[in-house]
Amino acid sequence: MKRLLTILLIAISFISLSQNYPVQTILKGDSVVIYTVEQNQDIELLLANQRSRVAFYKNNIAKQQTIIDSLNLEMIKQQDKQQLVIDSLQAVANNLQFTLKNKFSNFDSLQQRYDSVSTWLYNTASSNAIIYYSYTKSTVMAIDLASYIIVGHRRTGNFSVARRGPVSDDPYWKNYNREMKDEPNEDWLTYYKDRWRPTQFQFPYQILPTP
């Protein structure tokens, strides 16, 4: 009777356990979990799906990384090309700056020479000087006539000069010519007959009085 009761209790226990899987128990000193075959198949299917998803995500990440690496490489190439263009433009700019600097330097030199020539021409002309070219010296020479009066002869067309005063008065007459703006009248050429009339030339550029 006791043996039958024990078997009955074990059967009831297994029946109750079979209805509440999975169960956790101790087997040979280790904690184990007992599943049914169907539960085990469901777990295997779930794990297989998870592994498939992980593999898919890894593959997708690898593809994305490949695309990113390709874009980074292309970006580096484009940056290198842009740097080459920048370096080329910088070289052109430096060359242009150097050329402009030389041109401005030449311009400054020409401007100084022009100013010097303009000043010399004004000072010389305001002193009623006679300008001529010296072939022996290869330059322009001038005879200062600031202290002289130029007299023209209507009949002969000849010019003559007469001194205004001693050499000591030369600075006075120089200033006089400039301050009084002494110059021949506009119609002075009509004083001469056509046969003896001198030819008048004008400098091709305007020259302002120097201070």
Question: What pLDDT sits at residue 136?
Answer: 92
Amino acid letter, residue 200? Q
Report strand pairing: 130-134 vs 30-34.
unpaired
pLDDT at 190 over 50: yes
Instruction: Indicate the domain borders of the chain.
Output: 127-211
Query: What is the distance between the alpha carbons of residues 142 and 91, in angstroms, rounded to a whole number?
Result: 51
CB neighbours (10 Å) of residue 78? 10
pLDDT digits (tens, 9 = 90+) for 83-114: 888 888 888 888 888 887 777 777 777 788 88
Distance of CA 61 to the CA centre of its chain: 45
- Confidence at 21, pLDDT banded by 50, 70, 90: low
Which residue has better confidence, 139 or 110?
A: 139
Question: What pLDDT sits at residue 169?
Answer: 85
Question: What pLDDT sits at residue 188?
Answer: 73
